[in-house]
Amino acid sequence: MTTLTALRPAESTAGTKRWCGVAAAIFAIAWGGNEFTPLLVMYKSHGLAPTTVDLLLFYYVLGIVPALLIGGPLSDRYGRRRLLLPAPLIAASGSLLLAFGSGSVPALAAGRVLCGIALGLAMAVGSSWLKELSQPPHGPALPAGTGARRSAMSLTGGFAVGAGAAGVLAQWAPLPDTLPYLINAALCVLAAAWMSRAPETVPPQENPRGSSGSTSMKAPGSGAVAKLNSRRLIDDLKIPAASHRRFRYVALPAALWLFTSAATAYAVMPTLMLPHVHGAPIAFSALITVITLGCGFAIQSVARRIDRPGTARAAAVGLFLVTCGMLSATWASGALTLGATILTAVVLGAGYGIGLVAGLQEIERIARPDDLAGLTAVFYSVSYLGFGVPAGLSYLHQHAGFSYPSMYLGLAAAAAGCLGLVLRNYKVALEDWVKSRSTLVPVAANSEKHQQTGFADTVTPWLWNGWR
């Protein structure tokens, strides 16, 4: 009896660490996805046209969006491990292309696309896997939303640390075009080895193209639901929860501004400040990136005090901060002072952080286990369109003569419009919410565990208790 009691703490500790390998992979991949950002000013100083460099920033969205939209549903069908295990190695390949192709725009573009594919898989599949590893039977019972918060903090932490490290290395270390990327490639390989120890949470369907009418139940306790084997892959790519009113009018308005805010703060403003920063422009760009994402990371830890179940409070606060941040960018892009640039980064970073958590919380509340990854994919796909904003603004400035203050004033008005849309859908009746969830995805009649889980996910108070 004494021996069994002594073993329980060790077993419990091991269980709580199952998610760490997946979190490390997400962190390393996010590092690789954002290490390019502070180096934008370096490539521009090397003679590349500003619009070309801004397009290189956007190119990895061409990898992110397909990986998000296809990878999420595929992982619901074939399992999380099979889809995510290659992602760190894809990221490492992208970093190697960036390291040795600094003189070639096509090589840089290809490297960015590979990094985007890896990041798309990390966000859609990794976020779902991390959430499932953070709850029974794969981990201890924790407050609802713990998995979403771990995912958001892993991504934001990787974005921030990767940008900071790349900027410092490119500014003061040897081989500025190469060394930052080589370090990330090594980290991705190590993270892949660690993640390989994480257990599967969604066992693959044994016969996804089986005969009509045949069914296959997932293993008990896997956190997944019974699925019809006769469903085609194209059916898995359809996400009924994406039509949910809360997703369309709360989560998506927040998603639109996540990386629009981030790109404004650490892609546009450091470029505008380039003539006014002497001695260390790359390090300055890295500093602004770290400030932006550091504020986003820090504010996620107090999201539990902002969010209220049954309301859009967190999304509204996030969009209010984004609107204020765009007004600050209007001022900062005209004043071009250090203080105005830093203030803009702080406010937009806070809006990004709250908006990310608010969107992921809404998804956890809306999605059933069998379309969690798919709905997460749609959310992130919309959010990453914001990385096209710097290239668009650069084009309008160069070819249409628009000033940055006037363009940011227009973006502030658009953000205020999204805030108004969220406020119009601020509250939701819990009874209507449960009723709408019950019609999203057909469930096998004997899937009692899924019915219990779905109801609990709906009515559980969504309180954050920190990173556990």
Residue pair 129/198 in contact (Cβ under 8 Å)? The answer is: yes
Residues 166-187, mean pLDDT to the nearest whole number: 95
Q: Which amino acid type is present at position 236?
A: D
Q: Is the pLDDT of residue 180 over 70?
A: yes
Backbone dihedral angles phi then psi of residue 273, each to the nearest 5 degrees = -85, -5
Concatenating the DSSP letter of every residue in 114-172 gives HHHHHHHHIIIIIHHHHHHHTSTTTS----TTHHHHHHHHHHHHHHHHHHHHHHHHHHH
pLDDT tens readout for residues 76-109 = 788 899 999 999 999 999 999 999 998 899 999 9
Determine the Cα–Cα distance for residues 33 and 325; give it in Å rounded to an integer: 24
| Residues in Cβ contact with 420 at an 8 Å cutoff, skipping those fewer than 6 apart | none
Two structure tokens written together for 149: 């918060």
Q: If you ran DSSP here, which 8-state letter would residue 305 be given?
A: G
Q: Is 200 exposed, middle or buried (0-12, 13-18, 19+ CB in 10 A)?
A: middle
Task: State the pLDDT at residue 3.
Answer: 40
Q: What is the DSSP letter of 202?
A: S
Q: Percentage of the chain with pLDDT > 70?
A: 78
CA 200/CA 187 separation, integer angstroms? 23
Which pLDDT value is given to residue 79? Answer: 87
End-to-end CA distance of the chain: 29
- Counting beta carbons within 10 angstroms of the beta carbon of residue 400, is it exposed (0 to 12), middle (13 to 18) or buried (19 or more)? exposed
Q: Using an 8 Å Cβ cutoff, are 166 and 62 in contact? A: no
Tokens of 4: 């069994």
What the block records as the tokens of 397 is: 């400035």
Tokens of 225: 């639901």
Beta bridge partners of 227: 216
Considering Cα of 341, then 343, then 349, then 355, what sign does the dihedral take? negative
Q: What backbone phi and psi angles, to 5 degrees, belong to 455? A: -65, -40
User: What's phi and psi for 12, nearest 5 deg?
Assistant: -65, -40
Q: Looking at residue 63, what is its pLDDT?
A: 94
pLDDT at 146 over 60: yes
Give Cβ neighbours of residue 356 (< 8 Å, ≥ 6 apart): 152, 155, 156, 254, 258, 296, 300, 383
CB count in 10 Å sphere of residue 101: 18
The whole-model pTM stands at 0.77
371 within 8 A of 76, measured Cβ to Cβ: yes
What pLDDT digit, counting tens, does each position of 287-324 carry? Answer: 999 999 999 988 987 876 787 777 889 999 999 999 99
Structure tokens given for 73: 């549903």
Residue identified by tokens 């997932």 is 218
Q: What is the pLDDT of residues 56-83, one digit of tens each?
A: 999 989 999 999 888 877 887 888 999 9
DSSP-derived secondary structure letter, 311: B
pLDDT of residue 367: 80
Q: Are 36 and 56 in contact (CB under 8 A)?
A: yes
| C-alpha separations of 245 from 6, 41, 73, 217, 440 in Å | 50, 41, 21, 30, 12
**What are 351's two structure tokens?**
């809006």
- Token digits for 76? 């619901």
How far, in Å, CA of 106 to CA of 178, rounded?
Answer: 16
Q: What is the DSSP string of 407-433?
A: HHHHHHHHHHHHHHHHHHT-B--HHHH
For 9-39, write each residue's pLDDT tens digit. Answer: 434 444 557 788 999 999 999 999 999 999 9
Q: Which range, 233-247, 318-332, 380-394, 421-435, is most confident?
A: 318-332
